[in-house]
Amino acid sequence: MKRNSRKKARANVVRLRTWTHAQAQSAQLYVASVVRSVREHFLEAIRGHNRLEELSKREGRPDRNAIIARDDAQREFDAAKARFDDAENELNRLDVYILDPLQGLALIPFLQDERLAWFIFDLFDNEPLRFWRFQEDPLDTRRPVSTVA
């Protein structure tokens, strides 16, 4: 029985690639490109969702044109969501994770004092890798990268 519980515990372990600051800086242009794509596809999906909501709120029985418009809007929404998922998965394969797609924020893992920490990538900052935080810090915590050992 104990043997199986150890196997299950091992199966739940997630391996996370940690980055150095130099590695994160060298990948900055690529990460920016993918984060920009994630943001654009997220905005497309929001627009598609809003369009679907608008078409669904119309009163009365839908005519042929309304049905076609709703189907087209659904297809556009599904395509935008799929593009968003693809772009997000591309980042996740690098062990980079979106924090806020609208604000263009992503997290890049690293170790600081043998603890999990995250570089905060900000698409709209002149210095996209200016800040970091520990895993257990509140999400709005920002420490200057100059303090990384």
Residues 6 or more apart in contact with residue 98 via CB below 8 angstroms = 35, 38, 88, 91, 105, 106, 107
Rounded to two decimals, the pTM is 0.83
> Do 105 and 120 contact (CB within 8 A), yes or no?
yes
- Neighbouring CB atoms inside 10 A of 41's CB total 21
The one-digit pLDDT tens for each residue of the chain (149 residues) are: 556 656 665 666 778 899 999 999 999 999 999 999 999 999 999 999 999 888 888 778 888 888 898 899 999 999 999 999 999 999 999 999 999 999 999 999 999 999 999 999 999 999 999 999 999 999 899 999 998 86
Element of type H or E holding 71: helix 64-93
Give the domain ranges of the chain. 20-147
Say if strands 143-144 and 131-134 run parallel, antiparallel, or are unpaired: antiparallel
pLDDT value for 101: 97
Q: Evaluate the CA torsion angle 60, 65, 71, 73 in order and state its sign.
A: negative
> Do 18 and 96 contact (CB within 8 A), yes or no?
no
pLDDT value for 63: 86
Which three-class secondary structure state does DSSP give residue 21?
A: helix
Of 137, 139, 138, 105, residue with least CA distance to 122: 105
Which two tokens mark 35?
């984060």
